[in-house]
Amino acid sequence: RIQLSCPGCSARLGKAHRYCPGCGQPVEKAVAQEREHHRYRTLPVDKTTLSLLKEYLGRGGAVERNGEKCLFDLRRNRAWQIVTECAERAGLPRLVNAESGKTHNVSPHRLRDAFAVHAVKADDSGDGLRLLQEHLGHRSIVTTMKYRKVSGEEQKEWYRRLWNGGKANG
């Protein structure tokens, strides 16, 4: 991955930035740095899944690629194909974006988004969001907070509580 930064103050920049958000100076040529993108995440695995993985490994399931042991020999696009095909075979409908109305096929990223939205609905406390941030591998909590969308009904209830001294209905 390439990271762009301001030559004047080293603030992080996006591709479209013409002015630095840190120092406000015009950016004629950003400093580009290539970064390693190897982050490891520890995820909990239930006993049944662990048992299946051990059985898979016992049958010689792991492969070696470029001197590293890989649990599965899958590239991004093959994993995407498998998820899409399984969703079609299972008869899952296309996903509809509630904000834009656009429809999308089920994909690994859409499943990740659905998981994140579900997790936030289950626990949107500060601790819950922080755990989700860690699980998703987001550097910034702001990225994770984007999954916390407020529905119209939630907003109405918030106003009711606000104007009724903390009582839900009044």
Which pTM was predicted?
Answer: 0.60
82-106 pLDDT, tens per residue?
999 999 999 999 888 777 888 888 9
118-140 pLDDT, tens per residue?
999 899 899 999 999 999 989 89
Percent of the chain past pLDDT 90, that is, above it, reads: 29
**Per-position DSSP letters for the chain, written without gaps between them:** -EEEE-TTT--EE-TT-SB-TTT--B-SS-EEEE------------HHHHHHHHHHHHTT--EEETTEEESS---HHHHHHHHHHHHHHTTPPPEE-TTT--EE---HHHHHHHHHHHHHHH--SHHHHHHHHHHHT-SSHHHHHTT-PPPHHHHHHHHHHHHTTT-S--
Q: What is the pLDDT of residue 131?
A: 93
Q: What is the pLDDT of residue 31?
A: 86
